[in-house]
Structure formats: C-alpha cells, structure tokens
Amino acid sequence: MAYILNIETATKNCSIALAKDGKTVLCKEMAELGYSHAEKLHVFIEECLQEFQMNFNDLSAIAVSQGPGSYTGLRIGVSAAKGLCFALDIPLISVDTLQVLASQLSISDGVIVPMIDARRMEVYSAIFNSKNEKIREVQAQIIDENSFLESQETIHFVGDCSEKARTVLTAPNFVFYEDVIYPSAKEMSALSFQKWVANDFEDVAYFEPYYLKDFLIQSKSIS
C-alpha cells in the first residue's frame, strides 16, 4: 500500500492531494489572482493528513509537479517536497505539469494541447494523444493564426490562456475547454503511482524544476 502526497504549485493553483495506491482520497486547492502558495501550501498539507488521520511518517513518497510554469510557484513546491523527503527519508517523484493538465480531459478523437500562460502571446505547450501519451515535447511557443494548422484532426485546448488563444486560433477543428484552467494535484495521483510502481524516483539532492526558459530564473516578477 502506497500513500503519496502530491504537490502542484506550477500555476496560480496551490493544490495538494493525498493518494492511496494511485487514487485521490483528499484534495485541497485554491487558485487566486495573487500567488498564495507560501502561505497555503503547508497548511493544506497538514489539513489533508489530519483529516485522513495520518501522520507524516505514514507517507510512502512525495510527488511534485516539475514544470514548466511559474518560477516562484515551482520553487515553493519543489522546496517543500524536497524538505519532506529529506526529513522523512522517502522517495521524491516528479510529474510533468502539462501531462497533469491534459489528464483532466478524456477524449475519443484528436489530440489534447495543454497550454500554460507564459505572458503576451507565448505559451508553454505539449501535445498528448487520447491515451494521455506525449506525442510532442514541451515547447515555449508564440501562438499566432498559423499555429497548429498543420493538423486536420480535432485539437482540444486546455489551460489558462484560452481567452487570448481563441483570438488567433480560430480553425473549425479547434475546441477550447474554459472549465479546464489549471493543473490540479488530483490528476497527479495516478501518474505518481505509476512512477512509484516503476521505482522511477528523483535524486532529492540534485532535482530541479523544469523552468524551460532560463530568463525566468532571473525575473523578479511572478509568471
């Protein structure tokens, strides 16, 4: 039996999920205009464990959303995850943030394109098939009226940049889901358990988030 604490802080959504053998048993999350991760993250973790009547020592592993996303959000989540792993001497698991976002959608045809806002007309994106398998790697791309036109199949867009993307992505095979905005730790549960079963762990001492763009590391503002 594996109890995994999943931490998702790559966007404005501060999200924690406690999972048992890949199934979410408790989730606490809050998405605000301002980033409240530093104030909410540890409170949510403690509340989840208390409500499920668990101790930290009952945890089998910590899973964290690896990025891409907000530099500040990723740093807070990864720092918390690594600290817990060191203190409890348990494994660290990383999960692709865009796969977490894509996992909120089930489709029978076409592909899913999860997008995270990277300011102006730039987004972090990847492409997943109907089995939630990545078929195009993560990119930082500037979207315009020619983006994704090479595909004739239905493209399902999710993420926090639907509003700006819809102004330029207007092909009839493009579908937007305005209710799927941020990645959630709820969707991390199955993904992190798969890695737990495969013993696919990170080196706690050397693991770093996937920022994708180096200049974000030097930015003083929150993306």
- As a whole number of angstroms, the distance between CA 214 and CA 43 comes to 31
Q: In the prediction, which pLDDT does 24 show?
A: 98
> Facing residues of 61 across strands?
4
> Counting runs of H as helices and runs of E as strands, what totals does the chain give?
5, 10
The Cα angle at residue 189 between residues 7 and 48, in degrees rounded to 5: 55
- Cα(173)–Cα(2) distance, integer angstroms: 41
SS3 199: coil
pTM: 0.92
Q: How far is Cα 86 from Cα 215, in angstroms, rounded to an integer?
A: 29
Q: What is the pLDDT along the chain (223 residues), one digit of tens a residue?
A: 999 999 999 999 999 999 999 999 999 999 976 667 888 999 999 999 999 999 999 999 999 999 999 999 999 999 999 999 999 999 999 999 999 999 999 999 999 999 999 888 899 999 999 999 999 999 999 999 999 998 889 999 999 988 889 999 999 999 999 999 999 999 999 999 999 999 999 999 999 999 876 543 343 333 3
pLDDT of residue 100: 97
Q: Cis omega before residue 91 (within 30°)?
A: no
DSSP H or E segment with residue 31: strand 23-31
CA 84 to chain centre: 19
Angle at 209 between CA 206 and CA 211, to 5 degrees: 135
Question: Which pLDDT score, from 0 to 100, does residue 126 have?
Answer: 96
What is the rounded distance in angstroms from the CA atom of residue 13 to the CA atom of residue 68?
14
Residues in a beta bridge with 4: 19, 61
Specify the pLDDT at position 151. 86
b/e per residue 110-127 (b: at least 16 CB within 10 A): bbbbbbbbbeebebbbbb
- State the greatest distance between any 2 C-alpha atoms of the chain, in Å, as a whole number: 52
